[in-house]
Amino acid sequence: MKRRSTKLVPEMGAICLVTLVFMFIVPLAVASKENGKSSLSTYIVHLKKPKGVFAQAVDLDGWYRSFLPVTIPGQRTRMVFSYRNVVTGFAAKLTAEEAEAMKRKQGIKSVWPEKVYSLHTTHSPDFMGLQQSLGFWNQSNYGRGVIIGVLDTGITPGHPSFSDEGMPPPPAKWKGKCEFEGGCNNKLIGARSFVEGEVGPPADEEGHGTHTASTAGGNFVKGANVFGNANGTASGMAPLAHLAMYKVCGAGCSESAILAAMDAAVEDGVDILSLSLGGGSIPFYMDSIALGAFTAIQKGVFVSCSAGNEGPFYGTLSNEAPWILTVGASTIDRSIAAVPKLGNGLTFDGESLYQPNDFPSTLLPLVYSGANGKAASAFCAPGSLKDVDVKGKVVLCERGGDIGRIDKGQEVKDNGGAAMILMNDKLNGFSTIADPHVLPATHVGYETGLSIQKYINSTMNATATIIFKGTVLGKQSAPEVTSFSSRGPSLQSFGILKPDIIGPGVSILAAWPVSVENKTNTNSTFNMISGTSMSCPHLSGIAALLKSSHPDWSPAAIKSAIMTTASLVNLGGNPIVDETNTSADIFATGAGHVNPSKANDPGLVYDIQPDDYIPYLCGLNYTDEEVGTIVQQTVNCSSESIIAEAELNYPSFSILLAESGGSQTYTRTVMNVGPASSSYTYEVFVPTGVDVRVKPEEIVFTEVNQKQTYSVTFSRQKNISLPFSQGLLKWVSAQHDVNTPIVAIFE
């Protein structure tokens, strides 16, 4: 297994005008000393839930304030946020000494410094089989009546993606607010800011929130494109769903703001929560996103989160809780082609969003920027090419060195270079991205880069040009898992397979606050960016469609439908590959690539009720208090029927098999959501090194919503040296295939 690098590489996530940095945790409340006293910082305070219910919110606030230090007249209030729905507690400004003292007060469960989380379309609906007036879009009424709450950097209300043409008024249950002076509309029904110190409405200055919101639920916009590329009709996955924006990210995405926004969203009445942000692997009882999400699913709200951009290393996931849909990133079948052609006649695949129509087809001198032996020059670092002769030449630069891809092109341009070929490092392999480069350029894979280097070294007069071919559709190897997509296993719970699913997250076109081209005053502006931040809202929108089509389904049932119907092969009918151009493993794909139409008719679902998680959480060896913090009730694990992690009724199996251990048997209960009278038999694609037995051989249903239970026994074979192996259990009826992925981790 690849081990996680100790060095973050921000360049991998730097796309277009917004920096999608890797997800990591920054303790915001590291107290500094000022005049001998600790400065005030924000802390998250969790309290033991009191017996009874406060009559009014003001009573709850008053109780919260009773825990705060006494303030002198004129001093600013210490309370930052008061939480009423997702957790029992508050965020407050405290010194380090005050925080330590508060931990000793009766009724306090925990006090910790807040963390800062980071941010982790015309063709993607069509790529996934969503077509106007046909199929699943039509059957789900385009998500009409469903409310998607997006936690992000804000939104651009006047963008045509947020037009309310054809939209009904919001449901009567909606209680949200709109902080824009001009108000909202029937598409964008709510907009609030939770960024501390920010005055004014939740306007989007970064672009990220506008992009993710329109991906999830943007309306139809004709003629959407970037630089004339990817031209077509843009829409979100659920184009008639309502949207509510909760701005939580400014300089960063503070934990207290995220928790406050989730608290408000649940009270406002959202059906779906979409969070394209995260903070690495954290115990669930200390993970505010996991805490907020649990209360959300208790109230029937589906929660979708990005997996993170720290791939391709194993164990790099964020948002691992089993009640969250954890989404990895994959490609679509569209590329913005920029083909490098060498003097020896060879051509290679490459991509660039910038497609000049006047770049000469004649061959130009080709040089490698690192020919002088300096690493900085090889990476085309700022200032590194001032003594390198690149004027009028095509320059081969290497990816990496903590330098943005577009910044490398800027260095080539500043020193007179005519064009850039950007080659991947070995880590990123074949994964390329269409960027809005500042000069004629193309991004190529690692093996292609080596071939170009070999050609340069073979001749004294190397030449090249770039042929710009624009938008190309139909790539048969799509979807592919991209290199930056974070991988499992889950470090917090090895018994739960994560990520759950992959969806489109590379070079995704969606709404943007300003014109990327800076040539027009039109409001119809779009941009193409990449990240698991982009794949998450695809799944959020698909969940909205499923909620509209099946309003009685629980969040767990919706997740199950998405996972058990996922595609395991690409458009060419071959196994999905990763950045190495070989079959992607289960810790990259999870259950596979989302297939919305099949998810609408899964046949069977694995349902989980909120209280079913309590025995699972106790099985993680959490204390009663830690489990109680998550489920917001008093828990006594000694009186629970504690279960092993893999015993949770999850739509996958993730098992740890010790060399000296015996067999392990796990049960699953499936509910019939297909024809009343149906029967299923199983097929098993057995993981290498494991013996698998399934009982019974057939499960039979006579009515809708009927439940049946089966068991699977796993045994490790001798002399197995693999770190893990994967397989699949498939329940097959006359109309449905229900896939349940299996991963065996060998201890």
Active site residues: 152, 208, 533
Please state, in angstroms and rounded to a whole number, the distance separating the CA atoms of residues 494 and 656: 8
The one-letter amino acid code at 8 reads L
Pairwise CA distance, residues 650 & 586, whole Å: 16
Tell the residue number behind the tokens 């600013």, with chain if given. Answer: 76
Does residue 312 have a cis bond before it (omega within 30 degrees)? yes
Q: How far apart are CA 222 and CA 353, in angstroms?
A: 20
- Residue carrying the six token digits 């490459």: 350
Do residues 715 and 568 touch, judged by C-beta distance below 8 A? Answer: no
Distant-in-sequence, close-in-space partners of 94: CB < 8 Å, separation ≥ 6: 29, 40, 41, 42, 43, 69, 78, 102, 111
Calpha distance 583→575 (Å, rounded): 6
SS (H, E, C) 526-547: EEEECCHHHHHHHHHHHHHHHH
**How far apart, in whole angstroms, are the C-alpha atoms of residue 315 and residue 723?**
13
Residue 267 burial by CB count (10 A; 0-12/13-18/19+): exposed, middle or buried? middle
- Give residue 307's Cα distance to chain centre: 4
Residue 172 near residue 189 (C-beta atoms within 8 A) = no
Helix (H, G, I), strand (E, B), or coil: what is residue 520? coil
Nearest residue to 444 (alpha-carbon basis) of 531, 544, 341: 341
CB within 8 Å of 317: residues ≥ 6 apart: 281, 307, 308, 326, 486, 487, 488, 490, 491, 498, 499
- Phi/psi at 448 (nearest 5 deg)? -60, -40
CA distance 264 to 259: 9
Residues listed for the chain: 747
Instruction: Decide: 307 and 326 in contact? Cβ < 8 Å.
Output: yes
Residue 199: how many other CB atoms lie within 10 Å: 6
Report d(CA 470, CA 357) in Å as an integer: 10
